[in-house]
Chain A
């Protein structure tokens, strides 16, 4: 594996973001809007409930973590879509670049872009709405790591879907986090869900993160082994997504889809 080849993919993304306001702006704008919106909602909820329960770490913290996962996923897919939009597959894949080097470049690009969003969210949530990360303690690290891995897995999987089904399949990709969120228990305990949805939740790494986060905040019992299981699931999904991408790429090379990508299918 050549690190310079991976760096080339990251550098390409850096050039594109640096020279384009429309790429730079979404890195922080929408997450900032989300934090402001949910920040005021939690403030309002705190004022109307007499229980004294603090919604800020539970709701605003959940929004922040969920938005982080979405940013990571979009960091991967956006870097991949740059090659789709500029019809660059022939140039990029007719080089010595391997699939692992290419995916490595997409992941590192995503780390950089999602870090911007995370920093903005942290800054807004703490300074404007008084969210204290001391509430989560050191557990914030495995929470972020698990969500990061899950976002990477979703990003690679989504890129493979677009590679297989053509540029129009982009529209399948954007709603994926929204489809997952009801099962992941972002805003409510998994126990709230009907039994069949709970079974699905058990397969989703974010559900372990959000359950753990709520337990820490409310001072309830927290299972470290459950979080560890969530982390292992996330690693498994990253490996499966990379395998799926490599398999899709081989299919595209075998059938001629890669060479005639704009046709969207080989039939």
Chain B
């Protein structure tokens, strides 16, 4: 209570109002750049108001005035220390298209988490497959749904087209929307489960693997191996890798959380996670389209050989895309980084 509050307020109020009106002008037009005089004025008013805040904090009992000044200082601080994206940076289509190269690059940078996701899924597949192969009781538990339990009946129905309400493209389009939405939700969930330090992601991948292995073995056991490959591969070629990439994003997130206090560039790190999510969403869009319009048609309309070939081609293209796109010539890069010695 060293401060004469009334005189202090009367003296300082003009500069507070000046700072406030400057802040309002800036906040209303984030794209606006300050000229030199304005920047100097903002810096000066900020410093003065911060000093006023210090005086009020230590020299007076004025909780409300302190709160008011804190708010003012916080806003000025944000204006001074943060550069918002400008409109010209946002509306550049070329920046948006960069996702197509950024995705495979991020995939390759974080490939060890993809490997981890693949190993966990394969372990699940092995468990599911072995259980169905050697333990008949496991079939009831793992493949509770009737269509999984009795492949023969399902194959006959599928081939006769009984499960398709209509061949109409309209129904297939609506069906594809449901598939895309559901798959992206599941994948996003697997990636978000990284917040459980990867435990949730691992469980989800393992469960997915168990089901996959069990179905594959059950159908193959009963002689429908070709059918099930032709049925699942055209969309599975993208769907299964995208779930693995979701697992990769989940494990990457877990690692990010564990090491967040060492991370100097958190913004860049979480952008990598977002790029993986965006990439797998694109893959699942394609997979949903294939599942609705292509996978559900069986022989004799579409020969199984053709369907398997299409699926294999998709898988090859995806592999090439993920491994090759955006890869810079390492020799060229190394050369450009080296200082030239023969000047």
Note whether A and B form a binding pair.
no
Which residue numbers of B lie inside 8 Å of A, CB to CB?
A: none
